[in-house]
Structure 1
Amino acid sequence: MLNTLFSEIFSSTTETIAVPQFLLGIAVALVIGIFLAAVYSYKTKYTKSFVVTLALLPAVVCVVIMMVNGNVGAGVAVAGAFSLVRFRSVPGTAKEIGTIFLAMGAGLICGMGYLGYAVLFSLILGIAMFILNKVNIGADKRLEQDRILKITIPEDLNYTGAFDDLFEKYTVKYETVSVRTANMGSLFKLTYNVTLKNPNDEKDFIDDLRCRNGNLEISMARQEITNNEL
């Protein structure tokens, strides 16, 4: 029975794919695409357009391969023509690109007629991706301590070294990102990248800074990894 399940559904003796086989291939590819989209969206920031595209991508690749009668070389050439149009308006993350390749691989296997292998391949890789998301492997705990600090000071306060003692007390490291004037030059706005020693001391850190800058505006936000980083 296993040999039948994992055998090719398309007959090698004919160049025409029967309609039931064609529909079965698309149906399996769509189910695989929906499964991969659901797994990808678990604990991941995503857009609706990307998830919908991911669900449809295996079926699209499947049809391309079926229309070239399983000729992988011709199928890759057709897919290469599609790549002349940018897939997305912004560069994707490594996870997005990897999931796209996963969906395309599953669609290629479906298009070759090996539906059992396509389902098995998708289940193994999908479960692996779910587990890796669940355990949050590769997460950098230091990101929870990284902050963007913005301080407003009066013009008569020399900002060079004005907060060094507080930075030494509350941060592991810090660097000045930018300095600009505001309010007709009567204020300076300073921006720093800092890594806190203990995130729980954030309020104490801000309170000490307020005593130093005359209780002017201070803001602190988490640093975020940009979407175009791999």
Structure 2
Amino acid sequence: MLNNLFIGIFDTAGAAVISVPDFLLCIVVSLLIGAFITWVYTYKSRYTTSFAVTLAMLPAIVCIVIMMVNGNVGAGVAVAGAFSLVRFRSVPGTAKEIGTIFLAMAAGLIAGMGYLGFAVLFSLIMGAVMFVLNVTGFGVKKAEVREKTLRITIPEDLNYGVAFDDLFEKYLLSCEVVAVKTSNMGSLYKLTYHVTLKDNAEEKTFLDELRCRNGNLEISMMRQEANVNEL
């Protein structure tokens, strides 16, 4: 009676039936693969708890789907269609997140087809590659650490178009005005720049000279955040 619980009601005599031990083995291996991929992804990276949990479970979920449709062309087409209609309703992910999701899905697909050794080997190889790329800072621009967002508050009688040109030329490689905003009933202007410093060691000197120009009003400089909507 207990064995009948794990037999599909639509199974035929010639259909291959997945045994409970094999089923559990595939799930356990998929969960271990998911945990490994999640650890590699989160190492020295910013992430959300929800994404980490989902990434850890994704190989097992894909593994289950593939095992259930194994050998059934119609069901496989239906599942593929369902995947193509999935729409993520959260904020758009980065290229790294999307790539890691595909990595987890590929590992789960291999495990679901029963090739557990290949699934583990594939995950180890790709995980090692991802780990090395993260540690070595592959793809990081050398000037990225000098890219800052500069915010300056100035009085309304100061012409911001030319007031800081000599300082920008002295301390910056590049400068771009991205926002101008009035405040305090128009008596102050708040300027936002995207700048690239020539030398990080001169940041304080640069800010001190800006303070002399803007009447010692508020100035802030922070790391320039990448746009998460861009790949």
Give the structure-1-normalised TM-score.
Answer: 0.89
Q: Distance in 2 between matches of 1:49 and 1:23?
A: 25
Summarize deviations over 1:120-169 as a string: whole Å, max 9, x none: 11111111111111111111121111111111111121222011000010
Q: Distance in 1 between matches of 2:124 and 2:72?
A: 25
Summarize deviations over 1:31-77 as a string: whole Å, max 9, x none: 11111111111111111111111111111111101101255784364
Q: Distance in 1 between matches of 2:196 and 2:49?
A: 34
Q: Which residue of structure 2 lines up, in the alignment, with residue 225 of structure 1?
A: 226
Q: Which residue of structure 2 lines up, in the alignment, with residue 152 of structure 1?
A: 153
Q: Which residue of structure 2 lines up, in the alignment, with residue 36 of structure 1?
A: 37
1:224 deviates by 1.1
Report runs of 4+ in structure 1 exceeding 6 Å deviation: none
Q: Is the alpha carbon distance of 1:15 and 1:110 closer, same or farther for their aligned partners in structure 2, counting shifts above 3 Å?
A: same
Give the root-mean-square deviation of aligned CA atoms: 1.7
Q: Is the alpha carbon distance of 1:175 and 1:72 closer, same or farther for their aligned partners in structure 2, counting shifts above 3 Å?
A: farther
1:130 equivalenced with 2:131 (yes/no): yes
Q: Which residue of structure 2 lines up, in the alignment, with residue 167 of structure 1?
A: 168
Q: Which residue of structure 1 lines up, in the alignment, with residue 119 of structure 2?
A: 118
Where 1:191 maps in the other structure, the secondary structure is strand
Greater CA deviation, 174-183 or 105-114? Answer: 174-183
Residue identity in the other structure for 2:147: D
Q: Which residue of structure 2 lines up, in the alignment, with residue 98 of structure 1?
A: 99
Greater CA deviation, 15-24 or 62-71? Answer: 62-71
Give the structure-2-normalised TM-score.
Answer: 0.89
Q: Which residue of structure 2 lines up, in the alignment, with residue 176 of structure 1?
A: 177
Q: How many residues are treated as equivalent by the alignment? A: 218
Q: Is the alpha carbon distance of 1:87 and 1:146 closer, same or farther for their aligned partners in structure 2, counting shifts above 3 Å?
A: same
Residue identity in the other structure for 2:120: V
Any gaps of 5 or more consecutive residues in structure 1?
A: 1-12
Q: Distance in 2 between matches of 1:47 and 1:200?
A: 33
Any gaps of 5 or more consecutive residues in structure 2?
A: 1-13
Residue identity in the other structure for 2:225: E
Confirm or deny: 8 A CA contact 1:150 1:190 kept in the other structure. Answer: yes
Q: Is the alpha carbon distance of 1:71 and 1:46 closer, same or farther for their aligned partners in structure 2, counting shifts above 3 Å?
A: farther
Where 1:91 maps in the other structure, the secondary structure is coil
Equivalent residues in 2 for 1:58-73, closer than 5 Å? 58-71=59-72
Q: Is the alpha carbon distance of 1:117 and 1:67 closer, same or farther for their aligned partners in structure 2, counting shifts above 3 Å?
A: same
Confirm or deny: 8 A CA contact 1:145 1:198 kept in the other structure. Answer: yes
